[in-house]
Amino acid sequence: MRVALLGKGGSGKSTLAGLLCAELAARGGRVVAFDADTVPGLGSVLGMPVTDDWFLAGAAVREGAGWRLEGSPAEIVDRLARPAPGGVRFVQLGNADAGLREFELFRQRFPEKWSATMAFNTVSRVFDEPGGWAVVDLQGGTVNVAAGMAGATGVALVVVEPFAKSLLTARRFAEMAGWPPGLRLAGVASKVTSPADEAYVGQELERLGLPLWASIPVDPAVRRAERAGNPLVGLDPDSPVRRAVAALADRLERESAAAAAV
């Protein structure tokens, strides 16, 4: 089943995506993770090294004025996904190279890399792992393309922190027209410090017609790991954050089973 993560930048979306991948893989699931950020988000949570590679540069070839995907999304993932901890297969959009990249100039200078972006978007939008999981960490705050990039099946999780700007962002996602009918929208409260925080987010999600599927607490262990630059997959499985992610994984497994039974 596909699980796309949406939310305002800094909402904890990438952290959640990475820990979710690790949790699902630890339960024996086949997991493919897509990191759609040009600065690695989910990838760094998994401890993947920051590289200059556009992973899918080899996936698309020029054809006339356009380009063509070389193989099906499944074949491309088989060929080009990188191994991540826990057996997760990892596919990254982005180029980690620092420095100026005038976007148009970059596209002209490196046409094969521009098509890598198209290849990534095409693959990450449709790929599903039969009997397994495709987790897509969309770029933070990109409301306008979310309905297209989240895909047409599975679940789209809107990650919401207990403060006004994050709630307003969730409102924009929820009120957007054009969501595919086969995609289920749900909310996850993030960086929760108290039951009042959870109620605050829950109320707004209810107003928007979104169920609250998980509540991820603020965890000092996360802060410590980030200060030290340690990948968050190293967190203790008993830590509050990881237990909350496990509860979300339970919910997603029930959803996946229900969808498969249809």
Partner 1 sequence: MLATLEEKPGRVVIVDLGGGVMTVARGDDSEIDTLVVVVEPYPRSAEVARRLLDMAAEKGVSRRVVVANKIADAADLEAIERFLGVTPDLVVPEDSAVVAADRAGVSPIDHDAGSPAVAVVRDLATAVLA
Partner 2 sequence: MRKIAVAGKGGSGKTTIAGLLARVVAEGGHDVLTVDADENPNLGISLGLGVDATYGLIGVREALYADGPAIATSMEEVVERFATPAGDNLRIVQVRKFDHFRPG
**In angstroms, what CA-CA distances link 138 with 113, 131, 200, 241?**
19, 22, 25, 21
DSSP string of 191-251, one letter each residue: EE-SHHHHHHHHHHHHHHT--EEEEEEP-HHHHHHHHHT--GGGS-TTSHHHHHHHHHHHH
**What is the smallest separation between the CB atom of 210 and partner 2, expressed in angstroms?**
17
Q: List the one residue from 2, 3, 11, 136 that touches partner 2 (CB under 8 A).
A: 11
Site stretch for partner 2 (CB under 8 A), options 53-61, 79-87, 134-142, 151-159: 134-142
58 binds partner 2 (CB under 8 A): no
User: 69: how many CB neighbours lie within 10 A of its CB?
Assistant: 18
Q: Using CB under 8 A, which residues numbered 121 to 160 contact partner 1?
A: 139-141
Contact between residue 22 and residue 47 where contact means Cβ atoms under 8 Å apart: no
Residue window 9-28: x/- pattern of binding to partner 1, with contact defined by CB under 8 A: xx---x--------------
At residue 100, φ and ψ (nearest 5 deg) are -70, 130
Q: List the one residue from 28, 64, 99, 130 that touches partner 1 (CB under 8 A).
A: 99
Tell me the residue type at 105: L
| Residues at the site binding partner 2, with contacts judged by CB under 8 A | 8-11, 39, 121, 140-145, 147-149, 164-165, 167-169, 171-172, 175-179
| Residues at the site binding partner 1, with contacts judged by CB under 8 A | 9-10, 14, 37-41, 44, 50, 96, 98-104, 106, 139-141, 162-165, 168, 200, 226-227, 229
